[in-house]
Amino acid sequence: MAPLKRIYRPLQPPVIQKGLLQPHYDYREYEPSDGLEPYVACYWTSDFSPIEHTQLHRIIPDGCIDIIVDRKAPSLTKGAFISELMTSYEVLDLTRPQSLFGIRFFAETIHLFLRDPVSAFRGSPPLLADLWGSEAGLLVEEMMEAPGIREMIEVVERKLRRCLHSHSSISEGLLQTSISYLYAAQGNLSIKALAETLCYSERNLRRMFQHELGVSPKELSQIIRFQAMLQSLYHTPPAHLTQLAYTYGYFDQPHFIKEFKRFYGLPPSQVLVPSQL
């Protein structure tokens, strides 16, 4: 299967709200190398050095799963863990120094790098060592020895390419095909229509999503729609929110605001600059 150009690019609050970043709080994203774009949304770093105040760090659902390396962890075996597929926002109150490195995987292709389905992590995200054994410690050790972020990414990408090469074939399965349709429709595709397109029953489609991801296809489609809307706001903000709501299939502006608050934890008026409202 030839690598495809990604049409889905999720966003996180530090990218959307530039004013959140401060000298003591920094978040950055890095693009994957050619050939890894179908699998990795981005690599990211999050660093915090406490001064007089704590720092709120907001995380929103993006349809992805992350491998996160804590560069300040006292143990290599406990320094890397897996996130779950989020369906609601979370706000962390940072009080201690933090230095994280993350690999953000697309939900439909992360199975190529992990041994268990994502659904197994719901409610109890595991350590990477639980899945990769001693290889996890070796990877973290090599990452820690890298002189900079670019070199750290090179270490990670060598490991990811080895994982891909261990598969005799990387064919597009039902989950990947299903989510590709959701991406193309920007989440505005009913489960009935998706099932008909795939010549699959709605019941079996729901079972497959629950088994593989631990979420329903409706939940994931709503997250994809929300993220597509954020991309639109970020790059080409409309004149009015009502226009945006109708563009992305929301029934009306109140429905749009309700879902925005559900996934972001804040109303649009507290997130967007005045010219975007």
Condensed to tens digits (0 to 9), the pLDDT of residues 66-109 reads 999 999 988 888 889 999 899 999 999 999 999 999 999 999 99
Contacts of 167 (CB under 8 A, 6+ apart): 112
Domain spans of the chain, in order of start: 13-165, 174-276
Residue with the larger pLDDT of the pair 172 and 125: 125
> Does the pLDDT value for residue 45 go beyond 80?
yes
Long-range Cβ contacts of 269-276 (<8 Å, 24+ apart): 271/13, 271/16, 271/17, 272/233, 272/237, 275/237, 276/233, 276/237
Report the pLDDT value the prediction gives residue 277, as an integer from 0 to 100: 47
CA angle 165, 28, 276 (to 5 degrees): 120
Distance in angstroms (rounded) separating the CA atoms of residues 243 and 48 = 38
Residue with the larger pLDDT of the pair 122 and 265: 265
Report yes or no: 253 and 242 within 8 Å, Cβ to Cβ: yes
Q: What is the mean pLDDT of residues 184-211?
A: 95
Residue with the larger pLDDT of the pair 126 and 123: 126
Report the pLDDT value the prediction gives residue 74, as an integer from 0 to 100: 85
Residue with the larger pLDDT of the pair 120 and 170: 120
Give the E-state strand segments of the chain in sequence order. 25-30, 40-48, 55-59, 64-70, 80-82, 90-94, 98-106
pLDDT digit string (tens) for 232-268?
Answer: 888 876 667 788 888 888 888 888 999 999 999 999 8
Most confident of the ranges 129-138, 241-250, 267-276: 129-138
Q: What percent of the chain has pLDDT over 70?
A: 93
Q: What is the mean pLDDT of residues 26-34?
A: 95
Query: What is the pLDDT confidence band of residue 18, given thresholds at 50, 70 and 90?
Result: confident
Distance in angstroms (rounded) separating the CA atoms of residues 13 and 22 = 14
Residue with the larger pLDDT of the pair 152 and 84: 152
Do strands 90-94 and 55-59 pair parallel, antiparallel, or not at all (unpaired)? antiparallel
Lowest mean pLDDT among 73-77, 110-114, 131-135, 156-160: 73-77
Query: What is the pLDDT of the chain when averaged over all its residues?
Result: 89
- H/E run at residue 263: helix 253-264
Q: What is the mean pLDDT of residues 194-204?
A: 95
CATH 1.10.10.60 given to domain 174-276? yes
Give 4: exposed, middle or buried? Use CB within 10 Å, 0-12, 13-18, 19+: exposed
Report the pLDDT value the prediction gives residue 1, as an integer from 0 to 100: 37
> Does the pLDDT value for residue 274 go beyond 70?
no
